[in-house]
Amino acid sequence: MRKLAPCVYVAVLSACAAPSDGPAAGRFYDATDPQTGQKIPVVRLANAPMEPFNVAPLGYSAADPGLSVLRSTGFADSRLRRGDVIEVTILDTGEEGMFSSTQSKTLNLGRFTVDSAGTVTLPFVGKQRVLESSPEALQARIASGLKGSAVNPQAVVSVVDKPTTGFTVNGDVRAAGRFPLTARKERVLDAVALAGGASSAPTAATVTVIRGKQKASAPLERVINEDRQNIYLLPEDQVYIGKDAPSFTAFGAFKSVGEFEFEPGKLTLMQAFSRAGGLLDDRADASNFYVVRNQPVYSQVAAANAAKNPGTAVMTTKPAIYRVDMKDVANLSLMQRFKMADGDILYASNSGLVDFAKLFTIYQKSAPTAAAPLPGSN
């Protein structure tokens, strides 16, 4: 009888507090919703929805104005300001003008920067005050200044760079930086292109435009699909591309545990299972592999709000658990059809024998011995 006592003692302890890195397979059938207290059903994979219920079909609410709240007609102010860079070309169509000795009828004077005083110094015409002047007005003044040297002078002034009217692009892009606004009126997608494009897929990227104290956001996919979201930019706008990639988490008896990003609607359970490296042969219980999900539930708004928001649905979530039996060959086909959703958790439980072996190993360990006294101590 005394020989059986240690075995009984170990068995009792293993039932109470078996060492493990997660819940045992049987505990999933006792799980309850922490908000409602209702029992969470464990559904076989064959009865699970193959497509996840998205919060919104396109990842956003149609009632959300997104970037359209910052709509404008674009930047059209071409007046010259300090720091602007202009390029000046002069022409003379007369037979005996200033270019009569050359084959060309045009002369590129080069590029000039408007200084802090708002002036530029040009060949043939000298210093000109150009602050708040338009390129067309400067062209007329240059032509007028050349009348003594040319028969029929003309001038072309092109604005090459306007540092004071630029915008910045930061975040999840390949080449963040500051870019100038030009006469073509850059829009949000122009800004993304100038920055080398988003590093993430359009479905996993969010565009935020900050304009003074105003800020608005929209998924990049929506900006591509809806022209009203592709707003014109104004000077000093800040465009930020955020990464919002869906992910799932794998832990338990997998060869590789952690968080994994994926593109929504394109990752199956089999692919997610492979990303986690598959099950550990010496630990996992192949018949008890689980997918835990917060399943969206839609309901109509209360009658009191129906007049203000007709047809609006309220979305809540409830937990759902799907069981996968890897020993059942049919589940391999189902795993190729089951689509992953953002926030899904994959959990592979330990085999019962593995947990028992852990506990048995603990009780086999010898008691720690006291440390040796320090030299010179009493």
- Residue 170 three-state SS: strand
pLDDT value at residue 371: 52
Confidence bin at 218 (pLDDT 50/70/90): very high
Confidence bin at 14 (pLDDT 50/70/90): very low
- Domain 66-76+164-243 is in which class? alpha beta
pLDDT value at residue 301: 55
């919002």: which residue's tokens?
A: 244
Single-letter residue type at 19 = P
> Each residue of 232-267: b (16+ CB within 10 Å) or e?
bbbeebbbbbbebbbebebebbbeebeebebebeeb
Q: State the average pLDDT over residues 293-313.
A: 61
pLDDT value at residue 376: 60
CA–CA distance, 246 with 232 (Å, rounded to integer): 29
CA–CA distance, 65 with 214 (Å, rounded to integer): 14
Q: Which residues, 6 or more positions from 182, have their beta carbon under 8 angstroms from its beta carbon?
A: 159, 162
CA–CA distance, 55 with 351 (Å, rounded to integer): 36
The answer, yes or no, to whether residue 120 has pLDDT greater than 80, is: yes
Closest CA to 243 of 191, 204, 197: 204
For the chain, give every domain's residue range.
Answer: 19-54+264-358, 66-76+164-243, 85-161
Q: Is 161 within 8 Å of 85 (Cβ atoms)?
A: yes
The answer, yes or no, to whether residue 150 has pLDDT greater than 80, is: no
Confidence bin at 113 (pLDDT 50/70/90): very high
**pTM, to two decimals:** 0.58
The answer, yes or no, to whether residue 209 has pLDDT greater than 70, is: yes
Q: Do domains 66-76+164-243 and 85-161 have the same CATH topology?
A: no
The answer, yes or no, to whether residue 21 has pLDDT greater than 70, is: no
Q: Is 104 within 8 Å of 261 (Cβ atoms)?
A: no
CA–CA distance, 120 with 165 (Å, rounded to integer): 19
**Would you state the torsion angle of the CA atoms of residues 120, 126, 129, 133, taken in this order, to the nearest 10 degrees?**
-80
pLDDT value at residue 177: 94
| pLDDT per residue as tens digits for the range 310-355 | 555 566 778 899 999 989 999 999 999 999 998 899 999 887 665 5
The answer, yes or no, to whether residue 308 has pLDDT greater than 80, is: no
Q: Which of 183-187, 256-260, 357-361 is least confident?
A: 357-361
Q: Which two tokens stand for residue 17?
A: 């507090």
pLDDT value at residue 105: 74
Helices (H), the chain: 4-17, 135-145, 188-194, 220-225, 269-275, 303-306, 329-335, 352-364
Percent of the chain with pLDDT over 70: 76
Q: Which residue has the higher pLDDT, 196 or 16?
A: 196
Q: Is 294 within 8 Å of 310 (Cβ atoms)?
A: no
DSSP letters along 331-351, please? HHHHHTTPBP-TT-EEEEEEP
The answer, yes or no, to whether residue 18 has pLDDT greater than 80, is: no
Q: Which of 84-98, 120-134, 156-170 is least confident?
A: 84-98
Confidence bin at 57 (pLDDT 50/70/90): very low
Q: Which of 4-13, 42-51, 95-104, 134-143 is least confident?
A: 4-13
pLDDT value at residue 345: 94
- The fold for domain 85-161 equals wza like fold (3.30.1950)
| pLDDT per residue as tens digits for the range 226-239 | 999 999 999 999 99
Average pLDDT, the chain: 80
Confidence bin at 52 (pLDDT 50/70/90): confident
| pLDDT per residue as tens digits for the range 257-266 | 999 988 877 8
The answer, yes or no, to whether residue 138 has pLDDT greater than 70, is: yes
pLDDT value at residue 7: 42
Sign of the CA dihedral running 8, 9, 12, 14: negative
